[in-house]
Amino acid sequence: MADFFGDFNNNPYGDTSHDRDGWSQSGQGVPPLILGEEPRREEFFRRYQSIFEGPEPPRNTPPSPPPRPKREKQGRGKSMALLVALCMVLSGLTGFAGGYGASVLLDKGGASNAVTAAPAPQSPAAPLSAVSPSGVNIAQVAAMAAPSVVEVTTESVTRDSFLGNRVIGGAGSGVIVSQDGYIATNYHVIDGANTIKVRLSDGATHTARLVGGDEAADIAVIKIQAEGLPAAVMGDSDSLVVGDFALAIGNPLGELGGTVTNGIISALSRQVTIDGNTMTLLQTNAAINSGNSGGGLFNANGQLIGIVNAKSMGSGIEGLGFAIPINAAKPLIQDLMTVGYVTGRPYLGVNLINIGDAYTAMRYKVQYLGVYVDSVDEGSADQQAGLRAGDCILSADGQQISSGDQLAAIIAQKSVGDTLALQIMRDGLTQDLTATLAEYIPVQ
């Protein structure tokens, strides 16, 4: 470089006109550089810096190898890759913090990674019992009530004019009402039975005897020889309201003992006529079938609120079941347990027959249709009042009588010792009689 400056210093005009490899353009002189003049030297370097930084003039030396590409960017790429890898390792070691840092770096690179934590394993939940829409635990109610309900099977012997004696089986249900073996059921379940069998909820089978029954109330009591039985807890049917929970337990079809169905109280004090006998019953939509008769209807506390006794039958009829309110049944059951019959029943003392068509009138050789006295019990109120077989009862207490059930309903509204004003027709003539009602005592 000293020789180079020296050449310029010895050349006051600088008219070299170098044209080699573009060092300078023809006709552009370089002003002389005078040593010792520092300002001019600095100006010279500023103006002609590109000449000194440009390529050197060719010499008799081997050509220089082409410059290598810079590695600065490559080094940065490796550094970035190492940083991402380090973050990934740290994320595996430090959990959520490392995972979050790695996800930030990846997001900056245009990738997207969502880190989702798996939920911790939980212990399995305890099984839930069936719950009614009203929130009642059905399983708990059934567990309390079911042991008190039994299966009842009967056998009756009938005589057939063609086949002779035949044994007819029947089945129903019952409810244990005392720990020493008294069981309540329906009168129609055991009516005419020669033998009665009871199967408890634990599978034990016993022979039962009839203690007493009341056909008008469709209540009967039977007894087995056993102690320590799970008697039903009596509820209060008078406190029921429509919509209350109801659970029916019985022996549907005579084969499915211990069947539990649930529903609600659909109606209170429903007047239902069964076989000509009008009764005041509870209505429920709990499923009830043949064989449920005599079984229990229970409330949400497992208390007995009714004795199931009927289902409305017919095409397309579902959800119509009925039960005797327990408040009406309790005094009847108590009477049957203690004396064998229902006390305080008013009794007229006659057997009646309905003659409603000409054919029946011809058979009995009567001229008019109506309700006739078929027979009179010895010593009864009717006998004392002067009633006789063949009398036609026209009215009772001023109400025209068209059927025996209608007369029975009038008598049921009275008490023992009340009088009943009767108008009868005998030998084509009408007469007025007054009968004093006595207490009905069945023949034992």
For 66-101, write each residue's pLDDT tens digit.
555 444 444 444 555 555 555 554 555 544 444 444
- HEC secondary structure over the chain: CHHHHHHHHHCCCCCCCCCHHHCCCCCCCCCCCCCCCHHHHHHHHHHCHHHHHCCCCCCCCCCCCCCCCCCHHHHHHHHHHHHHHHHHHHHHHHCHHHHHHHHHHHHHCCCCCCCCCCCCCCCCCCCCCCECCCCCEHHHHHHHHHHHEEEEEEEEEEEECCCEEEEEEEEEEEEECCCCCEEEECHHHHCCCCEEEEECCCCCEEEEEEEEEECCCCEEEEECCCCCCCCCCECCHHHCCCCCEEEEEECHHHCCCCEEEEEEEEEEEEEEEECCEEEEEEEECCCCCCCCCCCEEECCCCCEEEEEEEECCCCCCCCCEEEEEHHHHHHHHHHHHHCCCCCCCEECCEEEEEECCHHHHHHHCCCCCEEEEEEECCCCHHHHHCCCCCCEEEEECCEECCCHHHHHHHHHCCCCCCEEEEEEEECCEEEEEEEECEECCCCC
Residue 28: per-residue pLDDT: 42
Residue 427: per-residue pLDDT: 86
Residue 351: per-residue pLDDT: 86
Q: Which of 91, 148, 218, 380 is catalytic?
A: 218
Could you confirm whether 293 is annotated as catalytic? yes
pLDDT > 60? residue 6? no
CA 230 to chain centroid, in Å, comes to: 27
User: Each residue of 316-339: b (16+ CB within 10 Å) or e?
Assistant: eeeebbbbbbbbbbbebbebbbee
Q: Which of 188, 237, 244, 380 is catalytic?
A: 188
pLDDT > 70? residue 29? no
Residue 315: per-residue pLDDT: 47
Q: What is the pTM of this model?
A: 0.64
pLDDT band at 135 (very low <50, low <70, confident <90, very high): confident
Residues with Cβ within 8 Å of 251's Cβ and at least 6 positions away in sequence, in order, are: 151, 152, 171, 172, 173, 257, 258, 259, 291, 292, 295
pLDDT > 50? residue 167? yes
Residue 239: per-residue pLDDT: 94
Residues with Cβ within 8 Å of 362's Cβ and at least 6 positions away in sequence, in order, are: none
Residue 244: per-residue pLDDT: 94
Top CATH class, 346-439? mainly beta
Could you confirm whether 18 is annotated as catalytic? no
Pairing state between β 399-400 and 195-199: unpaired
Residue 107: per-residue pLDDT: 39
Q: Which of 148, 293, 335, 391 is catalytic?
A: 293
Name the least confident of 18-27, 350-359, 403-412. Answer: 18-27
Q: Burial, 88: exposed, middle or buried (Cβ in 10 Å; 0-12, 13-18, 19+)?
A: middle
pLDDT > 60? residue 40? no
pLDDT > 70? residue 144? yes
Domain ranges of the chain: 2-53, 82-111, 135-340, 346-439
Could you confirm whether 188 is annotated as catalytic? yes
What is the CATH code of the structural domain delimited by 135-340?
2.40.10.120
The larger pLDDT score, comparing residue 46 to residue 197, is at: 197
Contact 207, 197 (CB under 8 A): yes
The larger pLDDT score, comparing residue 271 to residue 103, is at: 271
The larger pLDDT score, comparing residue 47 to residue 404, is at: 404
